[in-house]
């Protein structure tokens, strides 16, 4: 069975070009033009990966709203933003609402396909039962990690993390106090992105912890190098 991609894009020409390109690469594509049509479809059937724009028709941030709703519906579904908006605050917002990747439309179509394939491969690899013994959760101080369902808890309270953020956190909490460079965090999550994308993920992870613990301060920034986990 071919991999199904849901493409949510309001511009008809852009939607057609990306759809034709992805179909020619062997993907099964469901093309959707707005947030409401997309949610109606997703409530009936979920794809293997979602590629969506931020601005959808009259909704400037419709893609953000859709991503939030999708995360509630399917916490581990791979989601990629594909947008012309390249401002840092948009990138940070996209990752904070749960996207696994954020790509601007000035990239080549072949590069888009590679990013989709890498994300799918990572998801498939991380969900294989033989990755770890799933019968026991891993405990790192006050953090508990369940690699079967890819859920993390802080002091027994579950955290709302995307798949990418889960594996970044897993890398951070292992070997408490050790500096984890940007490249190491990328390898842990099996992504290849700019350092500022890792920074955005870290900001989101901190936010998720502070939702359940306003005093959380265990992720320390090593400026220009990376991050380390310190739990007193």
The average pLDDT across 50-79 equals 92
How far is it, in rounded angstroms, from Cα 210 to Cα 129? 31
Instruction: Give the end-to-end CA distance of the chain in Å, rounded to a whole number.
Output: 49
Pairwise pLDDT comparison (134 vs 13), residue with the higher score:
13
pLDDT of the residue at 149: 72
Characterize the bridge pairing of strands 219-222 and 226-229. Answer: antiparallel
Q: For residue 199, is pLDDT > 70?
A: yes
pLDDT of the residue at 32: 97
pLDDT of the residue at 72: 87
Helices 109-126 and 163-173, interaxial angle, to 10°? 60
Q: What is the pLDDT of residues 143-162, one digit of tens each?
A: 999 887 778 999 988 888 88
Q: For residue 96, is pLDDT > 90?
A: no
Characterize the bridge pairing of strands 219-222 and 151-154. Answer: unpaired
User: Percent of the chain beyond pLDDT 90?
Assistant: 52
How far is it, in rounded angstroms, from Cα 91 to Cα 42? 24
User: Percent of the chain beyond pLDDT 70?
Assistant: 93
pLDDT of the residue at 120: 82
| Whole-structure pTM value | 0.64
pLDDT of the residue at 131: 46
Q: Which residues share a beta bridge with 157?
A: 154
Pick the most confident of 32-41, 183-192, 194-203.
Answer: 32-41
Q: For residue 58, is pLDDT > 50?
A: yes
pLDDT of the residue at 125: 60
Predicted confidence band of residue 2 (pLDDT cuts 50, 70, 90):
confident
How far is it, in rounded angstroms, from Cα 18 to Cα 24? 10
Q: Which domains, and CATH codes, for the chain?
A: 4-126 (3.40.50.2300), 138-229 (1.10.10.10)
């Amino acid at each position: 069975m071919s991999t199904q991609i849901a493409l949510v894009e309001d511009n008809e020409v852009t939607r057609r070009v990306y759809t034709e390109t992805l179909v020619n690469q062997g993907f099964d594509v469901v093309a959707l033009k707005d947030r409401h049509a997309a949610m109606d479809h997703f409530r009936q059937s979920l794809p293997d990966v979602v590629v969506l724009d931020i601005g959808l028709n009259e909704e400037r941030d419709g893609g953000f709203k859709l991503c939030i709703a999708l995360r509630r519906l399917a916490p581990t579904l791979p989601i990629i933003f594909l947008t012309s908006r390249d401002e840092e605050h948009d990138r940070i917002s996209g990752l904070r609402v749960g996207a696994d990747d954020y790509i601007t439309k000035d990239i080549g179509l072949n590069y888009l396909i590679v990013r989709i394939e890498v994300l799918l491969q990572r998801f498939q690899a991380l969900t294989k039962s033989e990755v770890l013994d799933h019968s026991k959760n891993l405990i790192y101080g006050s953090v508990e990690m369940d690699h079967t369902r890819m859920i993390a808890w802080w002091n027994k309270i579950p955290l709302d993390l995307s798949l990418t953020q889960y594996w970044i956190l897993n890398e951070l909490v292992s070997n408490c106090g050790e500096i984890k460079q940007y490249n190491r965090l990328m390898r842990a999550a099996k992504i290849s992105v700019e350092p500022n994308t890792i920074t955005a993920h870290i900001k989101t992870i901190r936010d998720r912890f502070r939702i359940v613990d306003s005093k959380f301060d265990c992720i320390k920034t090593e400026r220009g190098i990376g991050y380390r986990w310190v739990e007193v």
